[in-house]
Amino acid sequence: MKRLYFGTDGVRGLYGSATMNEDFAWRLGAAAAGWLHAKGAAPGSLVLIGRDTRTSGTTLTQALADGLAHGGCQPASLEILPTPAVSRAVRTRSAALGVVVTASHNPATDNGIKFFGPGGVKLTDAEELAIEALLPARRTDGTVCALKFVDGISDYLYAMADILRHKLDGWKIVLDSANGATVHTSGAVLRDHRAQVLTIGAEPDGLNINDGVGSEHPQKMCAAVRQHGARLGIAHDGDGDRCVLCDEHGVVLDGDEILTILALQALKSGQLAKQTLVVTVQSNLGVEAAVTAAGGRVCRTPVGDRYVIERMRAEGATLGGESSGHIICADVSPTGDGLVAALRVIAVMLATGKPLSELRRALVKFPQLSVALKVREKKPLESLPTLAAASKAIQQELGAKGRVLVRYSGTEAKLRLLVEGPTAAIVKAALDKLVGAARADLNII
């Protein structure tokens, strides 16, 4: 059965819409409590709630907590905290459930709700479906619970302090916090290692999260790196579970380049578990070429970091992620963590003595182009004959030298098209054909 509300990363949508408002948050909280108790959780089970910096997060958090309390749980607030820090808090405090009120890299007009089960691991599709089945039709209780505050920052900062074995004296780093949840964490860790940190997107006002800054908009970070002669730039998304980097020349590295750098160093030192890297279907074919040449193997999953995590656990792998910048270092955290990824890359720079501009050369990307088309309705892909025929024809033409990926976003009303191939000209022509086919079948906004 298909989930109605949950996407690839929780429930997400325009704040004030039918599925992202205080009434829905209460219902979702009540349903989650019912699901916990159906699984045998004790009455009064602790549920930790964190959020990003969006103004709407305050009232959504309270409504969610009220629904959880109505269902017999004991909700507590972590206040503003990165998503991976919420995951850690669930583990360290043995909570029954963790919740993050965030829309990640989306604009401030959106918000969302995602869950972590015991151990700080994201829920499976089946678990989310079970919660949906328990959603009450309406809010039935107007009681407002008194939310207790729980400190989640201290444990997180303590854990991050041990990732780097050396201090960063003389390092100048540009950090873009996207005016989001990492504003009090990533900079603190880098400064604790004695780096000189130049900040961007560090003044959240509730409305400016991801607004021209962060991992989706790295231009300011890149310009600042060039201006100040920094070693690298780090840009997070709004909730801190991803990052993109830029080298000392101000050129962006995406998740594929980060994963390749980490995987090759781990293979060289004999520390890549099962000699396996897990990526999604979105990752460039060049990642497989580089890792395979170094003696490793690459496994692919559907798009979504939790699918990566599920496959990592099945394979016994400890490194995986997405080209978007979700990087999972499972020996540190069971979920994506943008700060951990950045620290691990810095550790490679320290170990090799090489700048990012040199380390990134390990990945030779196949020419790739992608586009995200806004749609009014996500019609089933199998019901789009023109697009299906074009996709099949292009894949046959490319053969083993390329690939086509057609999918809907799991968090937005967008159709995502991707083509990889042997030359940029072939890729562009193929993508143009796909876009034309999509317009023939769909109402593109």
Burial code (b: 16+ CB inside 10 Å, e: under 16) for 93-122 equals bebbbbbbbbbbbbebebbbbbbbbbebbb
Distance CA(90)–CA(191), nearest Å, equals 26
The strand pair at 110-116 and 148-149 is best described as unpaired
Report which of 183, 155, 186 is spatially closest to residue 86, judged by C-alpha positions: 155
Is residue 270 packed enough to be buried (19+ CB in 10 Å), middle (13-18) or exposed (0-12)? exposed
Structure-token pair, residue 367: 């020419």
Active-site pick, 45, 56, 87, 104: 104
Report which of 56, 52, 36 is spatially closest to residue 44, judged by C-alpha positions: 36
Angle at 135 between CA 140 and CA 64, to 5 degrees: 65
DSSP state of 335: S
Distance CA(282)–CA(288), nearest Å, equals 12
Contact assessment for residue 309 and residue 335, using Cβ atoms and an 8 Å cutoff: yes
Angle at 24 between CA 19 and CA 26, to 5 degrees: 160
Task: With residue 338 as reference, give the H or E element that holds it.
Answer: helix 338-352
Contact assessment for residue 131 and residue 32, using Cβ atoms and an 8 Å cutoff: yes
Structure-token pair, residue 179: 């005016």
The strand pair at 319-321 and 276-280 is best described as parallel
Q: Where do we find the tokens 């749980």? A: 73
Structure-token pair, residue 266: 């781990």
Is residue 445 packed enough to be buried (19+ CB in 10 Å), middle (13-18) or exposed (0-12)? exposed
Q: In the annotation, is 104 catalytic?
A: yes
**Biggest alpha carbon distance in the chain?**
62
Structure-token pair, residue 215: 């991992």
DSSP state of 7: B
DSSP assignment of 190-239? HHHTT-EEEEES----SS-TTSS-STT-THHHHHHHHHHT-SEEEEE-TT
Assign 112 to helix, strand or coil.
strand
The residues annotated as belonging to the active site are: 104
